[in-house]
Amino acid sequence: MQITAAVVSEKSAPFVIDTLELSKPRADEVIVRVVASGMCQTDLHGRDQYFPVTRFPAVFGHEGAGVVHAVGAAVSDFAPGDHVVMSYPWCGTCENCRSRRMNYCINGRGLKMGGTRADGSTLLARDGAPVYGAYFQQSSFGTFALSQARWTVKVRKDAPLEYLGPLACSGQTGAGAVLNALTPSPGESIAIFGVGAVGLSALMAAKIAGCDPIVAVDVHHHRLALARELGASHTINHKTAADVVGDIRKIGGGGVRYAIEASAVPQVLREAIEVLLPAGTCVLLGSARRGTDASFEMPYLQQGRVVRGVVQGDSVPGEFIPKLVDYIMDGKFPIQKIVTFYDLADINRAAADSEAGTAIKPVLRMPQ
Ligand SMILES: [Zn+2]
Ligand SMILES: [Zn+2]
């Protein structure tokens, strides 16, 4: 079928809206009419070929929300008309997938960034020539997308679908880091470094968990103001504060139990470790480029401190995303406050605003 999508023709080229041909669904696939798709840093990293496997022309987008349009012959869990969110792909057969660690799928990177299905076939074509992407096995920057049923998540129909795409990646990355990986008890302290879409999702989850104090650190005043509105008890502007580590230790009565690093800046990771109480845990969410080194003092780890990375919030999407949707409906995860809508035709402006930090979570509305 014909679709309208945003195509990147070569490394770092602008997005161009074009008409493409979408493949028919295979037995285990669904076609989703995309209503809206979040834009993540990872889409722009793909455009800029941070990942050497990326091939062009390509369609990006991996936070798609929409309505099931058609299902493959073997799909029994979905029917046309279902409201869905498309999440990250996993192979289902590797050692990590078999032990429910599908967010650490050993073949995950190829499935996310490789540009094709696992067997090398493409999802899209233009004038008979292949168009790559298959980004996170969905390429949601278009009016329709192919997704495997396995990582397609049904959501309740009374939820505002156009806001739900970000749950597929940045939302569950931040919220899951807190609710699935750290599992804080009420009254435990947390500091969040970098309050973009991921950091603010972590912050909303920390509020749900009852963390106190919740310290937000960022370099943008407007993001810190939003952090306070969403539940931060303290905010620190990293640009103007003379002693960020000292300030946080004071707020936490010697340090904080948990820290989240969502900025991908090596110096900030160091600070996120230094603010921890003994036996505290720092989770790394910021996606740094390959080859980025960070340093910290070894004695910090001797006191039982843990530093670990978390991908996709340790979420099993089919279980965690519906939970987040319930939180949205209960007013506890006000994702509406971090979203800025753009028409698909304005995707280059959305990307520029995202890179400038003026839009926290751009969401592209598809022409219907
Ligand atoms: Zn796997
Ligand atoms: Zn993402």
List, as one string, the DSSP characters of 79-110. Answer: -TT-EEEE-----SSSHHHHTT-GGG-TTHHH
Average pLDDT over residues 148-169: 98
- The model carries a pTM of 0.97
Residue 41 Cα to ligand 2 middle (Å)? 6
The confidence score (pLDDT) of residue 35 equals: 98
Residue 91 Cα to ligand 1 middle (Å)? 4
Residue 178 Cα to ligand 2 middle (Å)? 17
- Split at pLDDT 50, 70, 90, the class of 133 is confident
- Ion ligand 1 — residues with CB < 5 Å: 90-91, 94, 97, 105, 107
Per-residue pLDDT tens digits for 9-32: 999 999 999 999 999 999 999 999
Residue 45 Cα to ligand 2 middle (Å)? 10
- Strand 256-261 to 276-284 pairing: parallel
CA angle 34, 39, 216 (to 5 degrees): 135
**Cβ atoms 314, 181 nearer than 8 A:** yes
The structure tokens listed for 362 are: 């751009």
The C-alpha atoms of residue 102 and residue 314 are separated, in whole angstroms, by: 8
Proximal ligand: closest to the CA of 165: 2
The C-alpha atoms of residue 23 and residue 25 are separated, in whole angstroms, by: 6
Residue 202 Cα to ligand 2 middle (Å)? 14
Proximal ligand: closest to the CA of 150: 1
Residue 51 has pLDDT above 90, yes or no: no
Average pLDDT over residues 252-274: 97
The confidence score (pLDDT) of residue 289 equals: 83
Residue 100 has pLDDT above 90, yes or no: yes
- Ion ligand 2 — residues with CB < 5 Å: 40, 42, 169
Residue 168 has pLDDT above 90, yes or no: yes
Average pLDDT over residues 182-188: 98
The confidence score (pLDDT) of residue 85 equals: 98
Proximal ligand: closest to the CA of 109: 1
- Split at pLDDT 50, 70, 90, the class of 82 is very high
Residue of 196, 64, 81, 77 whose CA lies nearest to 133: 64
Average pLDDT over residues 250-271: 97
Residue 291 Cα to ligand 2 middle (Å)? 20
Per-residue pLDDT tens digits for 221-259: 999 999 999 999 999 999 999 999 999 999 999 999 999
**Cβ atoms 301, 307 nearer than 8 A:** yes
The confidence score (pLDDT) of residue 54 equals: 85
The confidence score (pLDDT) of residue 322 equals: 98
The confidence score (pLDDT) of residue 344 equals: 98
The confidence score (pLDDT) of residue 368 equals: 84
Q: Which residues contact 162 (CB under 8 A, 6 or more apart)?
A: 35, 36, 65, 341, 363, 365
The confidence score (pLDDT) of residue 203 equals: 98
Instruction: Tell me the backbone φ, ψ of residue 304, rounded to 5 degrees.
Output: 75, 5
Average pLDDT over residues 117-134: 96
List, as one string, the DSSP characters of 105-117. Answer: -TTHHHHHHSSS-
Residue-averaged pLDDT of the chain: 97
